[in-house]
């Protein structure tokens, strides 16, 4: 018998009610250069990425005592920025643990929102060790970047928005990292549009969820530099929520290389005029490279735009890394 999912449509709908007035309903744009492709411009979210949904839902679900003592997380950048924003809006303290691989622009953006930043090690797993210590010794409450029901439910509200703007998508392409976005969006879409094909997309360099799904259990992978840096980091060997949900809900997982990500970033800029980060471009990369066929009403989630200007300038000059 299949175990029940940790996050259901009811959880996601409750999160949507909780988030009213705290997040934006981001636009959806038809791509004139990819017939049938719809771009969900989630990078126009308040903090520049989808992570605000899950972080805010988690913070708003805390008790007054937990909020007063403060929250802590490990992040590759966007979740830390979202948690800093959510905690400040709720009047709480946030501590964000980052590895040395996180780009400087993302580190500064977190500091600018009033969070305490701790730079630890060369991987998200090393940053997570500091989170564990802070919870045990400082009494902070952890708000994980993905593996938590409240975070997944918050990300799932993006699935509800997609269906509000495109009631019966043929395919939905979701950037895949720790699986919070993929699990939440897939849970919403699978419940309300069961015929939709749901595909997780990641980079070839260090795709932890893809490797874990292939192995049938959570595995560690080496975290490597990539244009899709927001998709880096492990899923946690003790993963409780997102691995099982991604295994149950995703129809396929596709990997793209650095040149394909760079080409997609340039394509998105030509269509929208905006600079998106590599993680946001992986779905479009899969379509442009022919790894996924562009069926009618194919929705690509463009997840974030927190990219260093100098990095994007290099990409526009034709450099992939």
Residue 1 pLDDT exceeds 60: no
pLDDT > 70: what percent of the chain? 98
Residue 38 pLDDT exceeds 80: yes
Look at 229-238, 245-254, 273-282 and tell me which has the smallest mean pLDDT.
229-238
Distance in angstroms (rounded) separating the CA atoms of residues 302 and 232: 16
pLDDT for 319: 66
pLDDT for 320: 56
Q: What's the pLDDT band for 140 if we cut at 50, 70, 90?
A: very high
Q: What's the pLDDT band for 71 if we cut at 50, 70, 90?
A: very high
Residue 62 pLDDT exceeds 60: yes
154-178 average pLDDT score: 98
Residue 137 pLDDT exceeds 60: yes
Domains and CATH numbers, the chain: 9-48+148-316 (3.40.50.1100), 52-142 (3.40.50.1100)
Residue 120 pLDDT exceeds 80: yes
**CB proximity list for 74: less than 8 A, separation 6 or greater:** 96, 97, 98, 124, 127, 128, 130, 131, 144, 145, 233
pTM here?
0.95
Distance in angstroms (rounded) separating the CA atoms of residues 89 and 112: 14
Segment holding 129, helix H or strand E: helix 124-138
pLDDT digits (tens, 9 = 90+) for 186-242: 999 999 999 999 999 999 999 999 999 999 999 999 888 899 988 988 898 999 999
Q: What's the pLDDT band for 321 if we cut at 50, 70, 90?
A: low
Distance in angstroms (rounded) separating the CA atoms of residues 20 and 283: 28
Look at 25-29, 62-66, 91-95, 102-106 and tell me which has the smallest mean pLDDT.
102-106
| Active centre residues (catalytic) | 51, 303
């Amino acid at each position: 018998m299949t175990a029940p999912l940790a996050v259901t449509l009811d959880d996601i709908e409750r999160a949507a009610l909780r988030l009213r007035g705290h997040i934006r309903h981001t636009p959806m744009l038809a791509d004139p250069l990819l017939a049938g492709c719809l771009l969900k411009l989630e990078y126009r979210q308040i903090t520049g990425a989808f992570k605000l949904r899950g972080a805010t839902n988690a913070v708003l679900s805390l008790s007054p005592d937990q909020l007063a003592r403060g929250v802590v997380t490990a992040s590759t950048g966007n979740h830390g920025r979202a948690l800093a924003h959510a905690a400040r809006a709720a009047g709480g303290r946030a501590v964000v643990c980052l590895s040395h691989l996180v780009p400087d622009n993302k580190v500064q953006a977190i500091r600018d929102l009033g969070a305490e930043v701790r730079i630890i090690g060369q991987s998200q797993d090393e940053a997570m060790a500091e989170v564990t210590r802070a919870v045990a010794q400082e009494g902070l409450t952890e708000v994980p970047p993905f593996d938590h029901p409240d975070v997944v439910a918050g990300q799932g509200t993006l699935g509800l928005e997609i269906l509000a703007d495109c009631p019966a998508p043929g395919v939905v392409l979701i950037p895949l990292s720790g699986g919070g976005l993929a699990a939440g969006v897939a849970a919403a879409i699978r419940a309300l549009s069961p015929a939709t094909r749901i595909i997780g997309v990641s980079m070839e360099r260090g795709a932890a969820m893809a490797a874990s799904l292939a192995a049938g259990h959570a595995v560690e992978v080496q975290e490597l530099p990539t244009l899709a840096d927001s998709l880096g980091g492990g899923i946690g060997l003790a993963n409780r929520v997102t691995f099982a949900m991604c295994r149950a809900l995703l129809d396929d997982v596709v990997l793209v290389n650095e040149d394909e990500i760079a080409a997609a970033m340039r394509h998105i800029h030509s269509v929208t005029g905006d600079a998106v980060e590599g993680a946001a471009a992986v779905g479009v990369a899969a379509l442009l490279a022919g790894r996924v066929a562009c069926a009618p009403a194919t929705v690509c989630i463009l997840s974030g735009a927190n990219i260093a200007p100098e990095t994007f300038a290099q990409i526009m000059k034709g450099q992939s890394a």
